[in-house]
Copies of this chain bind each other. A is one copy, B any other.
Amino acid sequence: MAREQNMTKKAVVLGIDIGGTTSSFGFVEQDGTCFAETTIPTRPREPAEYLVTSLCKRAREAFAPFAAGHELKGIGIGAPNANYYTGIVQRPINLDWDEEVPLAELFHSQFGLPVAVTNDANAAALGEMKYGAARGMRNFISITLGTGLGSGIVVNGEIVYGSDGFAGELGHTVVDPAGRMCSCGKRGCLETYVSAPGLCRTAFSLLAERTEESVLRAFSFQALTAKDVFTAACNKDCLALEAFAVTGRILGVKLADAVAHTSPEAFIFHGGLAASGDLLLVAAKRSMEENLLSIYRGRIPLLLSGLQGLNAGVLGAGALIWNEIKL
């Protein structure tokens, strides 16, 4: 009887999305049904072990009411600078963790289950492929526009990890080698132009160059957010509109470059800035088309995430481990 009951249990995985300020988890069935979603503060100044212990404790508590009907099969984790090959998080920029944290090992020792990790942008791509806008696609690029520009490149149905697990960093491709300072230490990286802070920097640059009236002239650099620029643009503020147009043009050129590398079927956009939609993407599409070889033109859509309103990070982490385990 006990055995029979066990056989009818539904397989489920734990998807964990670790961010710089909050971390989320949820239990993800193979069809993408997600339950017991929970968000906890990351406490970035504490060592990694603190977060791992909290997550494990809270996940066990959240799973308890479902344990009779579900069997946990594995754990997928999306985290900044997490390396799929090694299971290690290396020097995450916004977390005061050790230089190298063996995240997969830490979770494996707690649960004794298969664990896979990857960076948050790759997890987002996997989520789109399994549950979102990229279902059925074998070649696409997912781009997350938030405080930075993250990307996941899919070729032949698989994330491109490259020789070291660190492929797919389009946010640090070069717009201008002598351009804006980037938090990575380089200059002119794409994400210094195309990201929420990048949009604000462009707005400030336009405020300096132009003389038109703009509501943005009332903001300090510290106070201005991408949301403010978005609101101003929706109200037809011409400098805010121009800030989006400039951002879109730069994005489009680098999308064209990405096409020349891996020739995707589509780009899929996530994140706060992507939610500004046409304001950004119409200019990006025009600029991409202008910079594409004719063989690629007119067939690569810029799509919004198919996981809006859902916890894309948790679903992506779930998709990651679903791809690894055999039932």
Contact = CB atoms under 8 A, between A and B. Distances in A.
Interface of A: 90, 137-140, 153, 155-156, 158, 160-170, 172-174, 177, 184-186, 253, 256-258, 260-265, 287, 290-296, 299
B262 A293 contact: no
B174 A262 contact: no
B168 A261 contact: yes
Nearest to A185: B294
Contacts of A290: 177, 186
A164 B253 contact: no
A162 B139 contact: yes
Contacts of A169: 260, 293
A90 B295 contact: yes
A172 B260 contact: yes
Contacts of A153: 261-262
Given A139-B162, A155-B155, A162-B155, A184 B262 contact: no
B160 A155 contact: yes
Contact of A166 (B138, B164, B258, B295): B295
What number of copies of this chain does the assembly contain? 2
A131 to B, nearest CB: 20
Nearest to A293: B172
A116 to B, nearest CB: 17
Nearest to A257: B173
A263 B167 contact: yes
A158 B156 contact: yes
Q: Which of A163, A263, A265: most chain B CB closer than 10 A?
A: A163
Q: Which of A156, A166, A256, A257: most chain B CB closer than 10 A?
A: A257
Nearest to A188: B291
Nearest to A156: B158
A300 B256 CA distance: 24
B260 A291 contact: no
A164 B295 contact: yes
Given A166-B263, A173-B257, 19 more contacts: A155-B167, A161-B263, A162-B263, A162-B264, A163-B264, A164-B299, A165-B263, A166-B295, A167-B260, A167-B261, A167-B262, A168-B260, A169-B293, A170-B260, A170-B261, A174-B253, A177-B287, A186-B291, A258-B261
Nearest to A287: B177
A290 B176 CA distance: 12
